[in-house]
């Protein structure tokens, strides 16, 4: 994608770009799930999202839909361009590239990793952060608005 400067062309691979999919499903209802996909590109185009959803639905049926698949770009400027459907985004890349688009869609949809588990834990916060300095002056009121349990999820690398 570069920085939108025409003539700034790259060829080949210096560093590989990846997509990472995290699928979270309820143990009691595995069909109830949400998918978050982080893709090493500038941003997700509408055309890219629609084609990924079409391919997922042709592969898995109604399991993955518009309402449970989130595609997110990492906002890297070192990724390829030419995958948007709108002119303003493909000016610097000299137009739409079917080849780039196909590589991206295929790479996102491809299943090439075994399933991982998620680790969760709870951390008890013992101090009130300085961001609460503007909270109500009464100590009783101040403590009512502090949630001291921080639950976090560890995703695989």
Binding-site residues: 75
Return the structure tokens found at 58.
């042709």
Annotated binding site for Zn(2+): which residue ranges? 75
Strand 29-39, strand 69-73: pairing: parallel
Structure tokens at 69: 């698949």
Q: Which two tokens stand for residue 51?
A: 């084609």
CA-based nearest residue to 21, from 45, 38, 41 = 38
Distance of alpha carbon 157 from the chain centroid: 14
């Amino acid at each position: 994608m570069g920085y939108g400067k025409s003539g700034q062309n790259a060829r080949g691979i210096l560093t590989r770009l990846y997509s990472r999919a995290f699928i979270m499903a309820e143990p009691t209802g595995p069909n109830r799930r949400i998918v978050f996909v982080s893709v090493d590109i500038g941003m997700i185009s509408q055309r890219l999202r629609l084609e990924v959803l079409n391919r997922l639905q042709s592969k898995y049926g109604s399991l993955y839909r518009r309402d449970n698949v989130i595609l997110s770009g990492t906002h890297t400027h070192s990724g390829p361009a030419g995958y948007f459907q709108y002119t303003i985004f493909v000016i610097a890349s000299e137009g739409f590239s079917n080849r780039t688009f196909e590589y991206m869609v295929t790479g996102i949809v491809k299943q090439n990793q075994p399933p991982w588990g998620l680790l969760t834990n709870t951390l008890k916060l013992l101090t009130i952060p300085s961001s609460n300095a503007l909270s109500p002056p009464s100590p009783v009121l101040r403590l009512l608005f502090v949630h001291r349990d921080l639950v976090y999820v560890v995703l695989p690398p």
